[in-house]
Amino acid sequence: MSQKTIQNIRRWVSAPLRGILRWSFISSFRQLRLSSLLIPLLDFAKALGIVLIYFIISSNLNSNLTGIGLSEELKQNIAKNIGNYDYAPAIKEKIGDAQKFQSGFQVVLAKLIINLALGIIAAALVIALANFFIWKIVTKKRLRLRFILKYFALLLIWNIPWILLFLAIAYKFKPALIAYAVPIEAFTFIYFSFLLYPLFAGEERVFRAIYRAFTLGAMKFHRIIGNVFMVYILYILIFALFLRPLIFSLFYIYFIMLIAIAIIAWLRYFMLEVVNHAQQ
């Protein structure tokens, strides 16, 4: 093996480590300022809005099921096994007319689909609105309100195909293959999403941002992957600390919460710095 080849291998291996040291501990932290404390609050408001939407949809579904005279146990079974539940025998005992129930259930199913669609749209708008203010703080740009609509479109265009791919894997693959395919899809999705949103915040062009996320992620993989893994490790560490606290005290909980808030506030700056340096 030639000396030049050895040098190239060393450079390829050491680039992620040098990138982590330079981007995460120097460049990204330099961008933090007092307004960055608003980022965790916006993330919390975003999560709260999504939870509220979920409860509204669940409540609406429950009221629709109540309207066709089902027991609580049967409603729960239908809600859990929508599309797979064999409801005919149970309904013959309750109302003696399976056809009548089927007609009512089809109405409920249609309402469910409509509610889910409206819920997804509402959740995407909440996320887009919160991220409008977040990226406005991070990029220090005067973003226009049309950013919200474009970000909304980006969320649907980017996430729906990945969800459909996941469903296809779950329904078509054998369990042994699912154990490999799902983690690979999840990693690929998170890796390119890590690049996509900072790129979009910089130029506000949906399809160009997606194209550049794929090209940049593929061509500069060796410079980016180390940084992505570092974020994984941080999140796993925080989750583990929350899951199994070493000290059961309010001080410990507050301390971990402060660390989590700091990381959430810092993460967008880190993502932006990784993308900016990878493009150089």
Q: What is the pTM of this model?
A: 0.73
Q: According to the model, what pLDDT value does residue 55 have?
A: 87
Q: According to the model, what pLDDT value does residue 83 have?
A: 47
Give dist(CA 71, CA 67) in Å, integer. Answer: 11
Half-sphere exposure of 276 (CA within 13 A, CB side): 14
**In whole angstroms, how far apart are CA 131 and each of 92, 150, 234?**
50, 11, 22
* Amino acid code (one letter) for 99: Q
Q: According to the model, what pLDDT value does residue 128 have?
A: 94
Q: According to the model, what pLDDT value does residue 155 have?
A: 94
Q: According to the model, what pLDDT value does residue 238 have?
A: 73
Helix-, strand-, coil-residue percentages of the chain, each rounded to 5: 85, 0, 15
Residues of the chain predicted below pLDDT 70: 1-26, 63-106, 108, 242-250
Beta carbons of 215 and 208 less than 8 angstroms apart:
no
pLDDT tens-digit series, residues 110-162: 777 888 888 889 999 999 999 999 999 998 888 888 999 999 999 999 999 99
Q: According to the model, what pLDDT value does residue 210 have?
A: 95
Q: According to the model, what pLDDT value does residue 97 have?
A: 47
Which helix H or strand E contains 75, and what residues bound it? helix 72-80
Give dist(CA 87, CA 63) in Å, integer. Answer: 18
